[in-house]
Amino acid sequence: MLHSNGEHLEHFHSYQKLSPTEKASENTIDVHTDQGLFIAFTPALIASHDENTGAPDLNSPMQESEGFYVETSQGKTAMVDLTSEDDLVFMLGDGVNQYINTKLKKDEQSLSKILRATPHAVKLQVHGEHLARVWYGLMVLPPSSAYSEKDGMTYGEIRNLLTASKNDDIPVGLGCSSTDMRALEGGDECFEQGAMRCWHRCMPLVDHDVSFDTCTDENHAIKCVNPRLQVSTGENHGDYFLKCTDSVVEVTPYPPLPQSPQDPEVCTQDAWDAFNMEGNDYMYSFNLTTDRTDANFYWTPNAAEGKIKGRLVFNGQYGWIGFGFINQKPDAGHKGMNGGHVVMATLGDPYTYSPVTGFDLTTDSKVAEYVINEFGGSSYRHWNIPEVDETNAEVTVSEGDCFTSLEFDLDKIHETEFDVEGHNNVMWAANPTDYFGGYHSRNRAFFTVEWMTGKVLFGKELNPVLETAVADGPIVTPTETDASGVSSLSAPISVAFTSILSLLYMFA
C-alpha cells in the first residue's frame, strides 16, 4: 500500500503450532527489530475455523493470544499484557537507527535523545488444528529506492530478499530490519553452525571458549558483549565477542575526546586548507576525500634510498591515525586488514592501553609500527604492543585540535618494504571521536599507489588507472591540485567506492 506521505506495508499473519517441535525455551520468532520508522498493530487473537471446510468459525468467540515478548533496555525479556478491547500498539523500528540517531550530534544532550528500536519475539503454545493465531500490523517503511548503507543495497532489494524462503512452507524475515533476521522455524543459521550473532556475523562459540553446556550459572547466558561488558544485539560494530555473563548493561557510546567535537568557529574551511597545505613540498598528492571523510595523502619517492616520504592529512580530531600495507594473502581477513603492517599514532601510551578505559590521557602520545593481528581477533587490544617502538614518523595536531597529520620517511613498515619503483596496496584509517582503539567510523580506505609515476586508484587494483598525480613540482593549493589533475576521483566514482568500502571493517 502506497500513500502520498510514504510507503506502508500491511501485514496479515496467521500462525499455527500443532506439535511441540521447539524446545520450551525457544522462540517461534526470534528476537528482532522491524524495518522502517515504526509499526502500528492490534493485539493478536486466536481464531477458530471449521476442521472440515477450513472456513472461519464466526460463531466461536476469538480469544486474546499471549506470547508476545519485548527485550527491555536492560537486556531482560518481558511478556506484554495486551487486550484486544481498546489497545493499539505503536513500536519503533530499526529506521530510527538508520535515519534519526545517526544524524544526532555527539554531545551529551543529543545522545540523551537517542531513540531505541524495540527488540521483540513471539513464543507460541501448542494448540489444536482448528485454531490459528491471527495478527494485523501496519509498518511505515523507507521508499523502495532509498539506499541502505548498512546492507549495501536498496530497501526494495532488502525486502525482496527477506520474502524469499528457503522452501515454500517456511516464512523468513517477517518484517525484520536486515537480511540476517529469520524466524527460528526457518532455521537459525548461526545456531546450526554452533555460533551466535555478534559483530554482524555468526561468531563461533568455540572461538571464545564458551558453550551452552558450561554456561549454566544462575542468570548467566552467552551474550555478545564488548570489553566493558555491555550487551549487544549482534549488530554493533567494534570490539565485540561472546561471553557467558549475567550482564544486562546496554551498549553506550565510547566517552568522547576531551576536545570533541570540532569547534566550527575555529575549525573553518580556511583553517583546514592552510593546515592541509602546510609544508607540502611533496611531489605527488592523492585526494582521499569521499562523502564520509575529508583527507589527503602526499608523498615523494626516493628511489636511491628506497624510501617514501609521506604525509597523511585528516580533517578530524586525534584519537588515533594510521597508515600501512594491506596483507596480500588471498585469505587475509577483513579484505587484507588482518596481518597488515602499519605505522600508527595513538593518543596515549599503547603499553598502558585498556579496552575498558581506553588510552591513558595522562601519558604521552606515541607513534610506532605494528602488525595487526592476523588470527584470533583483530581489535586493537590484541595487537597494541608495537613491533617497532622507535620509528621515523610523527603526528601533528593543528591549533584548536581541529586537524591531524601523520608524517613519515621510511623504507619499510615493520617487515614490509615500500616498492618504490613499483606499487603497493595500502590503507589508512583514523578515529576522531574517542580515545579507544576499537572503532574508526567511516574514516578509512584501501588504495593502490604507483610511487614513481603518481598513479593512484581506490581499491586493490591499479588497472585500469583512473588518475595520475602531477609530478612537476610542489602542490600549491587544494583548488590548484584538483584543477591540474591531481588524483581526486569524480563524485560518481567516489560514491561508488565509498559504498564498497562501507563493507570493510578496517582497524576494528
pLDDT of residue 488: 32
74 vs 448, which has greater pLDDT?
A: 448
Domain region containing 195 = 188-253
Confidence grade of residue 169 (pLDDT, cut at 50, 70, 90): very low
Same domain assignment for residues 349 and 205 = no
The answer to whether residue 82 scores a pLDDT higher than 50 is yes
| Interatomic CA distance for residues 508 and 505, integer angstroms | 6
**Range among 70-84, 201-215, 342-356 rated most confident:** 342-356
Segments of 326-443 assigned E as strands:
341-346, 366-371, 393-397, 404-410, 412-413, 416-417, 423-431
pLDDT in tens, 117-132: 888 888 777 766 778 8
| Interatomic CA distance for residues 442 and 498, integer angstroms | 9
Same domain assignment for residues 249 and 289 = no
* Mean pLDDT for the stretch of residues 419-445: 89
Helix (H) or strand (E) holding 276: helix 269-277
The CA-CA-CA angle for residues 16, 22, 23, to 5°, reads 145
| Interatomic CA distance for residues 275 and 314, integer angstroms | 10
**Structural domain contains residue 463:** yes
Same domain assignment for residues 102 and 227 = no
Confidence grade of residue 242 (pLDDT, cut at 50, 70, 90): very high
Confidence grade of residue 306 (pLDDT, cut at 50, 70, 90): very high
Same domain assignment for residues 36 and 73 = yes
pLDDT of residue 5: 54
pLDDT of residue 256: 93
The answer to whether residue 504 scores a pLDDT higher than 70 is no
The answer to whether residue 209 scores a pLDDT higher than 70 is yes
The answer to whether residue 175 scores a pLDDT higher than 70 is no
The answer to whether residue 93 scores a pLDDT higher than 50 is yes
The answer to whether residue 10 scores a pLDDT higher than 80 is no
The answer to whether residue 230 scores a pLDDT higher than 50 is yes
Q: Which of 412, 340, 349, 395 is nearest to 370 (CA)?
A: 340
C-alpha distance from residue 208 to each of 126, 196, 205 (Å): 36, 11, 6
pLDDT in tens, 18-71: 555 544 445 667 777 776 788 888 888 888 877 676 677 777 777 777 778 888
| Interatomic CA distance for residues 201 and 181, integer angstroms | 11
Q: How many domains does the chain have?
A: 3
Segments of 16-127 assigned E as strands:
29-32, 38-41, 45-48, 63-64, 68-71, 77-79, 89-92, 120-122
230 vs 14, which has greater pLDDT?
A: 230
Could you say which of 143, 166, 187 is where a domain stops? 187
223 vs 335, which has greater pLDDT?
A: 223
467 vs 122, which has greater pLDDT?
A: 122
The answer to whether residue 411 scores a pLDDT higher than 80 is yes
**Structural domain contains residue 264:** no
* Mean pLDDT for the stretch of residues 260-288: 92
Confidence grade of residue 179 (pLDDT, cut at 50, 70, 90): very low
**Structural domain contains residue 277:** yes
* Mean pLDDT for the stretch of residues 8-27: 63
Could you say which of 165, 187, 209 is where a domain stops? 187
Could you say which of 187, 206, 229 is where a domain stops? 187
**Structural domain contains residue 183:** yes
pLDDT of residue 453: 95
**Range among 105-119, 303-317, 456-470 rated most confident:** 303-317
pLDDT of residue 120: 85
* Mean pLDDT for the stretch of residues 334-359: 94
How crowded is the C-beta side of 169, counted as CA atoms within 13 Å? 3
**Structural domain contains residue 258:** no
Same domain assignment for residues 473 and 488 = yes
**Structural domain contains residue 506:** no
Same domain assignment for residues 283 and 409 = yes
pLDDT of residue 464: 40
pLDDT of residue 157: 62
**Structural domain contains residue 508:** no
The answer to whether residue 146 scores a pLDDT higher than 90 is no
The answer to whether residue 113 scores a pLDDT higher than 50 is yes
| Cis before 261 (ω within 30) | yes
CATH of the domain at 476: 2.60.40
pLDDT in tens, 379-388: 899 999 999 9
pLDDT of residue 472: 36
pLDDT of residue 177: 45
Same domain assignment for residues 19 and 93 = yes
Cell digits for 34? 522491524
pLDDT of residue 308: 98
In this structure, are strands 284-287 and 487-488 parallel, antiparallel, or unpaired? Answer: parallel
pLDDT of residue 349: 96
**Structural domain contains residue 160:** yes
Same domain assignment for residues 458 and 313 = yes
**Phi and psi (nearest 5°) for 350?**
-65, -25
* Mean pLDDT for the stretch of residues 268-294: 90
Mean pLDDT of the chain: 77
Same domain assignment for residues 358 and 438 = yes
C-alpha distance from residue 363 to each of 352, 360, 406, 489 (Å): 9, 6, 19, 39
Instruction: Give Cβ neighbours of residue 445 (< 8 Å, ≥ 6 apart).
Output: 288, 290, 293, 427, 428, 429, 458, 497, 501
Same domain assignment for residues 159 and 214 = no
Same domain assignment for residues 340 and 480 = yes
Same domain assignment for residues 76 and 192 = no
